[in-house]
Every structure is written in structure tokens, then in C-alpha cells.
């Protein structure tokens, strides 16, 4: 190899490393602005997860977002930025329903290693991928289940067992309430990640809130960096024991919403 090509390769490598360091600094700045404390080892795990997610997406339809910066902002940061709103604490049991490629569960499990996360999706291939991610990332606080939520909600091993239910882009709010509230104990919370268009969902969900005996939903809003959009968290607290009829059998919450 000639001197010129050696120098060019070294220059390209130096430029790549500089770009990676600059990007890490951007991510850490976004996290700081959002009040999220992240260690270097957690950043590396999140970066590895991004690579795993993008790689597996070539085989499975896990995400339509493939640009690295957009994945970081619209998936990773969006999963983490709302955490202060619902106060995840050590020892909690959290279930992420309709997790897809592991969102928001995997990023939150990296950020909160002392919290137990259960990630659920009805599609076996997606859960196989998420289980692979958790293994590659050495996340001992993650359990993965392929099952319909209607089934888990009537299973005594899962019903009334969780402090938090997380859901990101799974179903309209009135459907989500029926699916998720049976899984949390009294005064546990459902956390629904929504976009800026949530008013009609809140209105449609009034009957579900009453029948599932919840407190009135709380609405919390935030913006993603780099002008990537506004987001909404809807927080629902369980105030009474869920009637045994809910959730109804497979498919009914979506096909005949409350």
C-alpha cells in the first residue's frame, strides 16, 4: 500500500471517529435537555440496540424509520424522554404491550436496570427478535412474551400484577384502556404514548374510563429535538378493581370498542 493510500485511510478513519464522537455528544446533549441522566455504558448499549434494530429490520418489518438520527430521536429519545412524567423507580414491574421491535421497553430497560420489564407482542417473530436483542445487550431485567393482551389480562399470573403498562402506537385510547387496565394493580398507571392529535381519542375514551373505573386521564406534552415533532403522554390511574368481564375475548376490544 502506497503512502498516499495509507494516509487517506487514516484520514477517513479519523473523520469517521470524529463524526461518531460528535453524534454521541449530540445525543448526550438531547438527553441533558430532557433531564435524562445517561452513562457512557448505557449510551453504548443504546447505540448497539439501534444497530441491532436496523439490522433486523432488513428481515422483519420492525420500523419504517431507518435513518440513524431519526431512529435515535423518534424511537430512542421518544421512549426515554417521558420517563420523568411517570416516575419509574427501582423494584417496579413494568409491562410494554405491543412492543414491536422493543419500543419503548428496551431503551427504558437499559436506562433502568433495577426495574423488571415484560415485553409483549402477539407476533412470535417480533418477540423472537426482541428476545435476541435483550440477550445481545445482556439485559437480565427483560422478559419477552408472544401472546395476545386479551389472554394475559385474564391470566392470574399477569392480571393486577404491574405498576405500569406502557403502550406506544398500539391502539386507540378507548381500546387500549380495556386491554391495559386489567394488568395493573390498584393505583397503578397506564402510560399511552400518543402524537399531537389526541383530543378526539380522549373524547371517545370516556365510556372506557368509566367502565374500567379509572381516574380521569392526565395529559402531558413534550417536543422532540431537531424539530422532529410534538408528542403527548396520556396517564391513566386505576382507582377500583377491574370488573372480571374485562378484557373481553380476543378481538372484541378492537372490533367492538367501549
**193-249 tens-digit pLDDT:** 998 888 999 999 999 999 999 999 999 998 888 888 899 999 999 999 999 999 999
CA distances to 17, 19, 107, 225 from 9, rounded to whole Å, are: 12, 15, 34, 34
Q: Which residues of the chain have pLDDT under 50?
A: 3-21
The rounded distance, in Å, linking the Cα atoms of 106 and 102 is 5
The rounded distance, in Å, linking the Cα atoms of 100 and 92 is 22
Q: What is the pLDDT of residues 216-231, one digit of tens each?
A: 999 999 888 888 889 9
For residue 54, the tally of other CB atoms under 10 A from its CB is 17
Residue 23's pLDDT is what? 65
Residue 215's pLDDT is what? 96
What is the pTM for the complete model shown? 0.89
Cβ atoms of 208 and 184 closer than 8 Å = no
Residue 165's pLDDT is what? 97
DSSP string, the chain: --HHHHHHHHHHHHHHHHHHHHHHHHHHHHHHHTT----HHHHHHHHHHHHHHHHHHTTS---S--SHHHIIIIIIIHHHHTHHHHT--TT-EEEEET-TTTTTHHHHHHH-TTSEEEEEES-HHHHHHHHHHHHHTT-TTEEEEE--HHHHHT-TTTTT-EEEEEEESSS-HHHHHHHHGGGEEEEEEEEEEE-S--HHHHHHTHHHHHHTTBPPPEEEEEE-STT--EEEEEEEEB-SPPPTTPSPSTTHHHHS--
Close Cβ partners of 46 (under 8 Å, ≥ 6 residues apart) = 27, 38, 76, 107, 110
Handedness of CA 42, 46, 47, 48 (dihedral sign): positive
The rounded distance, in Å, linking the Cα atoms of 159 and 162 is 8
The domain locations on the chain are 1-33, 40-255
Residue 186's pLDDT is what? 97
CATH superfamily, with its number, for domain 40-255: Vaccinia Virus protein VP39 (3.40.50.150)
Residue 236's pLDDT is what? 96
User: Nearest-5° angle of CA 133, CA 96, CA 87?
Assistant: 110
In this prediction, what percent of the chain has a pLDDT beyond 70?
91
Amino acid at each position: 500500500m502506497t503512502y498516499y493510500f495509507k494516509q487517506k485511510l487514516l484520514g477517513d478513519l479519523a473523520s469517521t471517529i470524529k463524526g461518531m464522537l460528535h453524534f454521541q455528544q449530540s445525543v448526550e446533549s438531547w438527553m441533558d435537555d430532557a433531564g435524562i441522566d445517561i452513562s457512557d455504558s448505557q449510551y453504548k448499549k443504546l447505540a448497539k440496540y439501534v444497530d441491532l434494530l436496523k439490522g433486523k429490520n432488513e428481515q422483519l418489518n420492525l420500523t419504517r424509520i431507518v435513518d440513524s438520527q431519526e431512529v435515535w430521536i423518534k424511537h430512542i429519545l421518544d421512549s426515554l424522554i417521558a420517563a420523568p412524567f411517570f416516575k419509574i423507580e427501582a423494584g417496579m414491574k413494568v409491562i410494554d404491550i405491543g412492543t414491536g421491535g422493543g419500543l419503548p421497553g428496551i431503551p427504558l430497560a437499559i436506562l433502568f436496570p433495577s426495574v423488571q420489564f415484560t415485553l409483549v407482542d402477539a407476533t412470535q417473530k417480533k418477540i423472537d427478535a426482541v428476545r435476541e436483542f435483550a440477550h445481545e445487550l445482556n439485559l437480565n431485567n427483560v422478559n419477552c412474551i408472544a401472546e395476545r393482551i386479551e389472554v394475559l389480562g385474564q391470566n392470574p399470573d399477569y392480571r393486577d400484577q404491574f405498576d405500569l403498562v406502557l403502550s406506544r402506537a398500539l391502539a386507540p385510547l378507548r381500546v387500549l384502556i380495556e386491554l391495559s387496565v386489567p394488568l395493573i394493580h390498584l393505583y397503578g398507571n397506564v402510560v399511552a404514548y400518543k402524537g399531537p392529535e389526541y383530543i378526539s381519542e380522549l373524547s371517545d375514551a370516556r365510556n372506557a374510563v368509566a367502565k374500567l373505573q379509572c381516574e380521569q386521564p392526565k395529559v402531558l406534552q413534550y417536543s422532540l429535538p431537531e424539530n422532529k415533532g410534538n408528542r403527548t403522554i396520556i396517564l391513566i390511574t386505576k382507582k377500583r378493581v377491574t370488573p372480571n368481564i374485562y378484557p373481553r375475548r380476543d378481538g372484541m376490544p378492537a372490533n367492538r370498542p367501549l
